[in-house]
Structures are given as structure tokens and as C-alpha cells.
């Protein structure tokens, strides 16, 4: 991390300083919210969570050598600390200050589906020419984005920052920290509709990123998405990508290679060049187009973009494909919503041999949750030979699949599923496993790959 003075931190967060005045001239060596990651001269910021209050770990942070702590409580200590009203807000404000120490091109990525995959593809492409910092995993929330920013170093040339939300105002907070030069919106789906009300509300929440785009920046959207296409009609700084030739950048001559990915040709107003994305599914072409658009906007050559796309590798829980003991497991357990579930089932359909899907509850879908699950079951019936459903809401997946004529089975818990799974999965089957993160279906993946 680029060091700064403790006194600068006090000023940045508008806090009240307690402690030895001489410490204000000491340099902060790192900023963390996990007391287990504290090192000498680090600044510890305790965050209140659902299960833990980070303030309870302030003593252990000092024991580990913390230079100071940011806190909402007055402390009985002679150690330096900064008193604030809201430690999370202070953490975000300090990250905004830290980001301002750098002149680095920043790409912000949001959307209902495909944020993390797009972030990985964009990073893979841009890394062919630039020194890139990217969000780790899917650290895209109110603490994840600041943690990403605090990893910036002077050698970085590009920062690729994923931003997620399930409430209004959250993307605005994150964009204020990141200050993107380029804003990418992947699509508008049903994810988090429980809190955002409608697809129009989701578009409004995602578009908050544009409020903090730097002057002269540019917006890149999936032009095949009817909601995002409205941005093109409303703003002169929007570039569209998609499969429709009416987009500014589009993919043609798409050829599926099954589970091996897709070949296609990228068309722009001035160029056309072939490309390959090694991960399966038609949705991956959209993600690859976003990455190509980022590369072109930053002056990269077609060959560099082609190489970056071809070198893309999936990350844990994001359509990782592994074959063991004659069974191919499509591990896509990290999260789920109706759009990503349908895309995953489309990928399953590419597999050879028997096709089995293990589908669990999709969360945060609001009043239409039962309908969304029933519709998913009907869709799964077209793509899989056997549909295995686990969870409370997944009972409606089962009903939809059964009514559509599928061979379907329903289990109340994951343990009940695992007790029967070897009666339903056979050698040479391909098995898709997918649900919302809270269902923890990675246990099923591990069981299948034993």
C-alpha cells in the first residue's frame, strides 16, 4: 500500500483524534477491517456486522501492532485512535481519499448477471498490455470495494472494480470511492428485485455509477438488453455491444464449441477480427465483447485482445468444469438468479451424455419468488434429463419441472439430497450444481468429486 500520514487519515474522515500528537506524523502501513490481518503500523477499522462487531477486536488489533484504530466508541487506552460517528462510512471515505492519491485509469463494472466473469475477462485482456489491479473474487460490496482500492500501488496502470448492490444508494457510494473512467453495465435481470422493486428500479440503482464517472469518461452497455438500450437513447457517451449488428461492437459468425467455449468474429465500425472464449455458453460472448470493448477503448490491438480472451480462466464456483470418476461436474454454486440459472442450464445442454441439474433456492426475489422458481423448473425440463431440487423455494422448481414432463425429485435439505444422489447420478452424466450463495451447495460439488 502507498503510505500516508495518520494525520491525513484523521483529516480525511473528519474524525476526532485521541492520543500522542507525535503519532500523527507516523506513516500508515496498511488499512484492514479484519483484526487477524493487522501488522505493525496498520490502521484497523472495526465494522459492525450481522454476527460480529469489529469493535470487540480492537484490543487484539493493538496487540498485533496497530498504529491506530478508527472507532465509534470512546476507548480507555493511551493508544492513538480516531473517533467517528460511523466506522463503515469512515472506511469508505478514507478509501476515497486513498484513491485520490493515484492517477490510474479505472473501469467500473456492474449489472445483474455476469459482473465477476466480465471483470475477470476485462482484466485478462487488459493485462496483455497494462499492469492491472482487479477486485479479488467478488469483493464488490460496501467493504469489498474499499478493500480493493487499498490494494492500489504506484505501479498499477489500470484498476478494474466490480460493484454490486441490493439497495438503492449503494452503487452511488462505491462509485464515489472508485471514480471510474469507464462504466460497464452487463445487463438488467431479476437479481435483488425484492429490494429494488422492478427492473426499472434495478436499472436506476445500477445507473448510479454514472453519477461519479470522471469527465470525458464513457459508458459501455449490453445493447441487446432493452433496459440498457435506453441509456444509448438518452446519452451521447454510450457505446453498445451485443450480438445484434446494430450495436457499435457486435459478435457475428458465432460457433459453439460445446463445453470448450465459443468462436466468433468481433465487428467494430473500423475493424473485424476472430476471437475465442474458452468458457461455454452464449452469455460468455457478451462478457467477452465487454472485455474487447475495454481493450479497444484503451488502445489495444486485436491480437492482444484475442490473446487475453483465450487466456481467460474461470474462478472458484463460477462454471468451473471438472471431470472425475466418469462424471462431469459443472460447479456454478457461487450465486444464482433466474437469468444466471437459465444461462447455466443452457451450458448444461452442451454436455454429452446424461444431463442432471441440482438446483437450489434463489434468494432475494420478492413477491414473485414462487413464480420465478416455477418458471425455472419448466425451463430446466427442456435442458436436463433429471432435475434435482433442494430447498424450500426449490419445491416450486420441482413443480414446474414435473408439470413440464421432466423426471424431477425434490429434497428439503442438502443432506437428504446427498443421501440419494448416487441413485440419481450415473457414470457419464454431466451434473450442473447451482443455487444462491446461502444454500452452500459447494458441499454437493465436493461430494460428487470425492
Cα torsion 376, 377, 383, 385 to 10°: value is 160
Q: What CA–CA distance (Å, rounded) separates 244 from 184?
A: 18
Q: Which helix (H) or strand (E) holds 357?
A: strand 355-360
With b meaning 16 or more CB within 10 Å and e meaning fewer, what string describes 243-272? beeebbbbbeeeebeebebbebebbbeeee
Known binder of ligand: residue 257? no
Known binder of ligand: residue 117? yes
For residue 437 the three cell numbers come to 450463495
Known binder of ligand: residue 279? no
Cα torsion 437, 440, 442, 444 to 10°: value is -130
The residues facing 192 across adjacent strands are: none
Q: What is the side-by-side order of every strand in the sheet holding 430-434?
A: 320-324, 327-331, 430-434, 355-360, 386-390, 407-411
Known binder of ligand: residue 145? no
Known binder of ligand: residue 115? yes
Q: Is 97 helix (H, G, I), strand (E, B) or coil?
A: helix
Q: Is 436 helix (H, G, I), strand (E, B) or coil?
A: coil
Spatial contact of 123 and 132, defined as CB atoms under 8 Å apart: yes
Known binder of ligand: residue 400? no
Known binder of ligand: residue 427? no
Could you tell me how far CA 205 lies from the centroid of its own chain? 16
Residue set of the binding site for ATP: 111-117
Residue set of the binding site: 111-117
Amino acid at each position: 500500500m502507498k503510505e500516508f500520514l495518520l494525520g491525513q487519515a484523521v483529516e480525511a474522515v473528519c474524525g476526532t483524534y485521541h492520543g500522542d500528537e507525535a503519532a500523527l506524523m507516523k506513516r500508515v502501513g496498511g488499512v484492514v477491517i479484519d483484526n487477524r490481518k493487522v501488522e505493525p503500523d496498520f490502521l484497523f477499522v472495526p465494522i459492525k456486522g450481522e454476527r460480529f462487531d469489529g469493535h470487540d477486536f480492537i484490543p487484539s488489533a493493538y496487540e498485533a501492532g496497530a498504529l491506530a484504530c478508527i472507532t465509534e466508541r470512546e476507548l480507555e487506552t493511551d493508544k492513538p485512535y480516531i473517533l467517528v460517528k460511523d466506522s463503515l462510512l469512515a472506511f469508505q471515505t478514507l478509501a476515497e481519499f486513498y484513491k485520490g492519491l493515484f492517477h490510474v485509469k479505472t473501469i467500473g463494472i456492474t449489472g445483474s448477471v455476469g459482473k465477476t466473469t466480465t471483470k475477470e475477462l476485462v482484466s485478462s485482456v487488459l493485462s496483455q498490455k497494462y499492469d492491472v489491479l482487479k477486485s479479488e473474487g467478488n469483493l464488490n460490496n460496501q467493504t469489498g470495494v474499499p478493500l480493493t482500492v487499498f490494494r492500489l500501488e504506484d505501479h498499477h496502470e489500470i484498476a478494474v472494480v466490480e460493484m454490486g448492490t441490493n439497495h438503492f444508494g449503494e452503487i452511488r457510494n462505491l462509485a464515489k470511492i472508485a471514480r471510474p473512467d469507464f462504466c460497464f453495465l452487463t445487463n438488467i435481470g431479476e437479481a435483488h428485485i425484492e429490494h429494488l422493486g422492478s427492473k426499472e428500479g434495478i436499472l436506476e440503482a445500477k445507473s448510479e455509477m454514472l453519477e461519479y464517472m470522471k469527465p470525458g469518461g464513457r459508458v459501455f452497455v449490453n445493447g441487446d438488453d432493452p433496459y440498457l438500450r435506453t441509456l444509448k437513447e438518452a446519452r451521447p457517451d454510450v457505446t453498445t455491444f451485443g450480438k445484434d449488428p446494430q450495436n457499435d461492437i457486435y459478435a457475428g459468425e458465432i460457433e459453439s464449441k460445446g463445453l470448450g467455449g465459443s468462436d466468433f468474429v468481433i465487428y467494430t465500425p473500423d475493424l473485424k477480427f476472430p476471437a475465442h472464449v474458452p468458457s461455454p455458453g452464449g452469455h460468455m460472448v457478451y462478457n467477452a465483447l465487454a472485455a474487447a470493448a475495454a481493450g479497444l477503448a484503451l488502445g489495444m490491438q486485436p491480437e492482444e485482445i484475442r490473446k487475453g480472451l483465450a487466456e481467460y480462466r474461470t474462478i472458484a464456483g463460477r462454471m468451473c468444469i471438472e471431470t472425475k470418476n466418469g462424471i462431469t461436474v459443472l460447479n456454478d454454486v457461487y450465486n444464482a438468479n433466474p437469468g444466471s440459472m437459465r444461462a447455466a442450464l443452457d451450458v448444461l445442454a452442451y454436455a454429452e451424455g446424461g444431463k442432471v441439474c441440482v438446483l437450489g433456492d434463489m434468494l432475494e426475489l420478492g413477491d414473485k419468488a414462487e413464480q420465478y422458481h416455477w418458471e425455472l423448473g419448466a425451463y430446466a425440463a427442456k435442458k436436463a434429463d433429471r432435475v434435482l431440487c433442494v430447498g424450500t423455494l426449490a419445491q416450486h422448481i420441482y413443480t414446474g419441472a414435473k408439470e413440464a414432463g421432466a423426471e424431477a425429485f425434490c429434497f428439503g435439505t442438502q443432506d437428504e439430497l446427498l443421501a440419494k444422489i448416487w441413485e440419481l447420478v450415473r457414470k457419464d452424466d454431466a451434473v450442473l450444481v447451482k443455487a444462491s450463495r446461502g444454500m452452500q451447495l459447494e458441499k454437493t460439488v465436493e461430494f460428487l468429486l470425492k
